[in-house]
Amino acid sequence: MKILLLVVASCLISLTTPQSALSEIDGSTVIRYYSDSQQTVVLSPAIDLGSTFNEDRMKISVHVAQDILTSASSEVRTYASRGTISDYRQEYQVNYESQIPDGTLSAGIVTSDESDYSSRAISAGGSREFFTKNTVVGFGFASSQDVITATGNSGFRETMQNQNYSLSLSQILSKNALLQLIYDFKVENGFIASPYRRAKLITGANISALSENHPRTRNRHAIGMKYNVYIPRWKMSSATAYRIYQDSWGVLSHTLEERLTREFGRKFEIAATVRFYTQSKAKFYEDYYINDPGVFYTGNKTLSTYLSYGIGLRPAWNLTEKTNFSVKLEYFGQKFSDATDAGQLTTLADDKPLAISAFVIGLGLTTKF
């Protein structure tokens, strides 16, 4: 209902506001369907609305998204009292951007709520152009306050604070090539864990579940590089990205992604994406903790050593001059080196190496009105 109200409000704005003050409204909607081998299904509809005004020097945009999740994953089957869990998340975002001499300034707010987690965030950023717009420096800041509760445990309430700082440098190398360097720093303080996940503890001949305990501070550093080039002869563009990440928990990761987009006339294009990710484990992670778990312990498999890969296709059609329709098909897998899928918690006999595969389908429609 709220999404429908936003669409109606935008249409009314476009009809009642003088054309000199408000330009065309851009609207896009995407529906994504995610399903993996761990019996987790997520349906995610989203809508974006945006418009420029004041002679196109200012822009305001609205984003609304929802996630509808059901899961009977191995963690749910092992630790939860129910065989299946479900949850619902809704997110609202408003952004404002203004053109200034040789640059831009922006600000935004985001709210996100689900049954046991809520987040409120603000952000600000901008860019500055140099050398006849061939070089652009960007900067950004975001801060959020999160509240974590637990379904079935009314006495549980924790908080977490996030601050994120980013810098970027974009350089035009030629009329068909662009290079971008990005640095991100994020610090988290508070409850950086889950009230539901459990670490697996072996004490003598017994195997039991232990509520995870993470450090209450995590510093994250990431450096990225993007190189985009367009080949007019083939009507093809290439986007290559690499990212290295390290945090104060000892996690080190590398991400490499390549996207090729080929145009077929003015009506149709298709993009192919390949992504590869590898990660080393957090210094306190163990699949099973034996006798003494130490100060920190976790049941989070994404803190283990693993690699993931993804392959995607995205065909898109320009239905009219103002309307575009796209389909996204993606398959990806994860293989874990030191995490197992525990069948029955009380025995090791039915454990097996953990591997997850997933398929994502997305449908998108973008239009101007």
The predicted structure's pLDDT at residue 66: 96
Query: Does residue 44 or residue 87 have the better pLDDT?
Result: 44
118 contacts 146 by C-beta, under 8 angstroms: yes
Is pLDDT above 60 for 344?
yes
Residue 353 lies in domain: 2-17+25-368
Q: What percent of the chain has pLDDT over 70?
A: 91
199 contacts 75 by C-beta, under 8 angstroms: no
Segment 184-212, tens digit of pLDDT: 999 999 999 999 999 999 998 899 999 99
The predicted structure's pLDDT at residue 23: 67
The HSE-up count of residue 170 (CA atoms within 13 Å, CB side) is: 14
A 10 A CB-CB count for 308 gives: 19
Segment 17-43, tens digit of pLDDT: 444 455 678 999 999 999 998 889 999
Give the three-state DSSP class for 305.
Answer: coil
Retrieve residue 170's tokens. 């974009």
Is pLDDT above 70 for 9?
no
Q: What DSSP state is assigned to residue 301? A: G
Query: Does residue 69 or residue 258 have the better pLDDT?
Result: 258
The predicted structure's pLDDT at residue 79: 67
- Cα–Cα distance for residue pair 8/22, rounded to 1 Å: 16
Please give the average per-residue pLDDT across 126-146, as a whole number. 96
Beta-strand pair 236-247/217-231: antiparallel
Please give the average per-residue pLDDT across 318-340, as a whole number. 96
Quickly state the pLDDT bin for 100 (edges 50, 70, 90).
Answer: very high
28 contacts 48 by C-beta, under 8 angstroms: yes
The predicted structure's pLDDT at residue 281: 98
Domain containing residue 67: CATH number: 2.40.160
Number of structural domains in the chain: 1
User: Which residue in the block uniquely carries the two structure tokens 């299946």?
Assistant: 84
- Cα–Cα distance for residue pair 362/70, rounded to 1 Å: 18
The predicted structure's pLDDT at residue 7: 40
Is pLDDT above 80 for 84?
no
